[in-house]
Amino acid sequence: MHVTPYLDASAGGPPVVVERLSEHAAENGFSAQILTTAKMTSDRGEALRATCPGAIVLPNQLAATFGAASRQVAKAVSAADILHCHTMWSPLVASAVRQAKRAGVPYVVSPHGMLDPYSIGQKPWKKRLYLAVIEGRTIRGASQLLFTAEEERRLANPITGETSSAIIPLGADAPPDRTETLRQEFLSQHPELRNRKRAIFLGRLHAKKRPQTALRSMIKVLQSEPSACLLFVGSGEAEGELRQLVAQLKLEESVRFLGFLAGREKWQAMAASDVFLLPSQQENFAIALAEALHAGVPALITRKVNIWREISRVGAGQVLEEEDLEVSLSAGMLRYFHNHEVQQRASEAAHALAHGSFDWRISARLTHGLYDEILSV
């Protein structure tokens, strides 16, 4: 049973992980059930109940702690062989873990970056209290903590200590067609961008990801490459501020807001880009980044992105200098814009890394293998 406080697509990575692991459960000898809530949905979870008919969708997280919903959770958890809990600081996860301990059901916890120092630093007093009263016991009682990268495990160590843990990278989808086909489809829809160098920022427009830094770096880029264009693909609370900044910096001709794109449209924009930007303050795995690598798009990332070592090691992108991020980001873009050979080598390395390491079948096989190991003890 996968336990996640939210399953709506707007929540980002964890819902994708739950969906993909569930899809691959049968081929690895398991059946999967999902316990979640209507959090972040606009229809009280009705669409989730329709698309995931076997899922238990509670109205909210607190419902799991009392009344009929609590009994429903207890019954479902006790019927499971193993729980896989996704994210931290969740009353739903805490309730499911409490029921698992009562029923003697082992459980795995995937923090999804929520034990990184940046995440701990958001509402720190509340989290320290929650850690002392509830989450510490959740961590210590886990059969395994499951991290997506060595960097995530390293950052979490001051809290997790000696708790047993494993590292299994997540997967990411690959393009649905040849990248050249997708690129030409995008350019046919946006002919004004055909002869331009294109950088893409794909994800939630949130201050944590520092889209403003990406935008400001374009000033230096345009001094050396007037054809450069920055594509914002996504939506979020920072969009209004970004649009105002575009006007203030007079970058209207060099920035495009394409909104939230999904499916083939997303892949078209990705395939048409020369470089992927993620100057984030904190990012655990970043599935959109792994998808960009599958599309052969080199990445410019910070050391705050937990798979930076894997990308840097094979030359699938460049790690930015935090001390002068705008300068480092603009220099990185120009490097890929102006040197086709460098861009191609990085593109090939990106594709090879994604294909060999960030594949859902591989991730699912290793994860279900971990379940088997726990159940065999």
Quick: pLDDT tens for 147-161.
Answer: 999 999 999 999 999
Q: What integer best gives the mean pLDDT of the chain?
A: 95
Structural domains of the chain ordered from first start: 2-170+359-376 (3.40.50.2000), 179-357 (3.40.50.2000)
Q: How many residues does the chain have?
A: 377
Please give the pLDDT value at position 75.
95
* pLDDT number for residue 243: 97
- Whole-number Cα distances in Å, 145 to 63, 114, 166, 197: 26, 12, 6, 42
Which of these, 176, 167, 128, lies nearest to 149 by C-alpha position? 167
User: What's the pLDDT at 272?
Assistant: 98
Handedness of CA 300, 287, 40, 101 (dihedral sign): negative
Q: What's the confidence (pLDDT) of residue 53?
A: 83
Model confidence at 10, in pLDDT bands (50, 70, 90)? confident
- Give residue 13's pLDDT: 83
Confidence class for position 8, pLDDT limits 50, 70, 90: confident
* pTM score: 0.91
Distance from C-alpha of 321 to C-alpha of 324, rounded to nearest angstrom: 6
- For range 11-36, the mean pLDDT: 93
| Residue of 362, 240, 231 whose CA lies nearest to 297 | 231
DSSP labels, 14-83? HHHHHHHHHHTTGGGT----EEEE-TT-SSTTHHHHHHSTT-EEESSSGGGGSHHHHHHHHHHHHH-S-E
Average pLDDT over residues 113-135: 93
CB distance 199 to 225 below 8 Å: no
For residue range 171-199, list pLDDT tens digits in order.
999 999 999 999 999 999 999 999 999 99
CA dihedral 92, 95, 101, 107 (to 10 degrees): 0
CA atoms within 13 A on the CB side of 25: 16
> In the chain, what percentage of residues exceed pLDDT 90?
90
109 CB-near residues (< 8 Å, 6+ apart): 85, 88, 93, 138, 139, 142, 144, 145, 146
- Per residue in 196-246, pLDDT (tens digit) is 999 999 998 999 999 999 999 999 999 999 999 999 999 989 999 999 999
Among residues 246, 228, 175, 232, the alpha carbon closest in space to that of 202 is found at 232
Task: Work out the number of other CB atoms within 10 angstroms of the CB of residue 116.
Answer: 22
Would you state the pLDDT for residue 9? 77
**CA proximity to 234, closest of 281, 191, 276:** 276
Please give the share of the chain, as a percent, with pLDDT higher than 70: 100
